Amino acid sequence: MYSYNKITGSCGEKLAVDYLIEKEFVILDKNVYMRWGEIDIVAKKGMKIHFVEVKSRISIKQGLPYEAVRIPKLFHLLRSIQAYIKMNNLYKFRFQVDVIAIFFSKNRYVQSLKYYENVEVDRFL
């Protein structure tokens, strides 16, 4: 049985995929589990691969969605990305890490969806 957080996360990831497709991204992979953690979405646009972390919230008790992407999370994500690039021989592409932050109302309506492109570690210090 899924927990409330898992359901919220799944809804957020579905919305993020729809958003990216609307923006003309090609979805290459979803929910890729690696030794260091999960890559939520791998998408391609042009000659660039986007590794997208999706964070969804229904309450600000635990902070805003993007605040959950902290330095340790980014470092684990980068390790997973390196392994993914190697496994899929994607060396000819450029890549970047993006974050999609979604805030839902209590009855699951989207209050906001923000797309943060090319996230850098120092942005979260």
Q: Of 110, 97, 120, nearest to 11 (Cα)?
A: 110
What pLDDT was estimated at residue 64? 62
Average of pLDDT values for 74-95? Answer: 91
Domain boundaries defined on the chain: 4-120
CA distance 38 to 29: 11
| Contact criterion met (CB below 8 Å) for 34 and 83 | yes
What pLDDT was estimated at residue 124? 44
Share of the chain above pLDDT 90, in %: 53
What pLDDT was estimated at residue 106? 76
CA distance 44 to 57: 26
pLDDT at 11 over 90: no
| Contact criterion met (CB below 8 Å) for 93 and 55 | no
The second-level CATH assignment, the architecture, of 4-120 is: 3-Layer(aba) Sandwich (3.40)
54 token code pair: 């999706």
Based on C-alpha coordinates, what's the Rg of the chain? 14
CA distance 112 to 109: 9
Average pLDDT over the chain reads 84
CA distance 12 to 78: 21
Does the pTM surpass 0.75? The reply is: yes
For the stretch 13-64, pLDDT in tens is 999 999 999 999 999 999 999 988 899 999 999 999 999 999 887 766 666 6
pLDDT at 1 over 60: no
